[in-house]
Amino acid sequence: MIVRTLPLCVCLLAGLTAVNLSASPITGMFSIDGNITVSSALITWANTNSPFTPNQANVGENGTGSFAALDGTIVTIQDLNSATEPVGSTFGPDPFISFNADPTMPTLEINFIYAGIFSNAECATAPAVGQTCSPTGPSGGASPFNFTNVQGNQGVPPIQSVAGFTFGGVTSAGGIWEGQFSADFDVPYQTVLSNLATSGSVTDTYSSVLTVTVSNATPEPGPGTMLGSGLGLILLSVGSKRFLRKQHQ
């Protein structure tokens, strides 16, 4: 009976430690576009196609790697709240983007929103081409937006603006990702910020390119792995002690 205990414990250990195997990592690049609405505390998303479904975005063309087969499909993208996803500080990670065309694909989880890199000195000056601005965020904190005033197309309108912002995070399979987002406005950013202050929100179209890579960090064992390992080692230890006592009797 004792001789059979050790193989049984080993099998139990192997079985329990296998319950937390992670999904295969994903890598590559893909693009998305849609509508973005920014208010003092929220960033919300919607599809640009009727019926403008909330929390959806279109996947663009020329995806690479794990995303090569997703061109023209839809992703679900979660809203962001500055109370739980503050700019410039690590949080979460919280679910952010999932792939409707392949629900088995690991989710992109967000854990960092990069603060804007420009000064706020030119945020309220008279508009001019070449000006830059990273406005103050909610409650006087940082905002993620990098505004630049640019020349309008053939001078009509004379000044337009571009807002860029960067998000980052991890995947549920242990990878890391970064997304470069941009929104184009047909008015100077001073007008955009004035409209935000007056109406409480601004809506525009956006586009983004997201890059996913494999993390070099060794993932920590999950609860299932640690529990399985602990139980298996306890049983293995008990069986070994019984075996040794039997040998000395």
At 195 the pLDDT is 96
pLDDT (tens, 9 = 90+) of the chain, 249 residues, equals: 444 444 444 443 444 444 444 467 899 999 999 999 999 899 999 999 888 999 999 999 999 999 999 999 999 999 999 999 999 999 999 999 999 999 999 999 999 999 999 999 999 999 999 999 999 987 778 999 999 999 988 767 899 999 999 999 999 999 999 999 999 999 999 999 999 999 999 999 999 999 999 976 444 444 443 434 343 433 334 444 444 444 445
Among 78, 73, 76, CA closest to 101: 73
Instruction: Tokens 């080692």: give the residue.
Output: 233
In this structure, is residue 74 part of a structural domain? yes
In contact, 13 and 228? CB cutoff 8 Å: yes
In this structure, is residue 104 part of a structural domain? yes
If one counts the domains in the chain, the total is: 1
In this structure, is residue 128 part of a structural domain? no
212: buried, middle or exposed (CB in 10 Å: 19+, 13-18, 0-12)? Answer: buried
Q: Which residues are within 8 A (CB) of 154 and not within 5 positions of it... i.e. 6 or more apart?
A: none
In this structure, is residue 77 part of a structural domain? yes
In this structure, is residue 2 part of a structural domain? no
At 127 the pLDDT is 97
pTM of the entire predicted model: 0.77
Domain span at residue 35?
28-113+161-214
In this structure, is residue 186 part of a structural domain? yes
In this structure, is residue 73 part of a structural domain? yes
At 216 the pLDDT is 64
In this structure, is residue 176 part of a structural domain? yes
Rounded distance between C-alpha atoms, residue 50 and residue 47, angstroms: 8
At 140 the pLDDT is 78
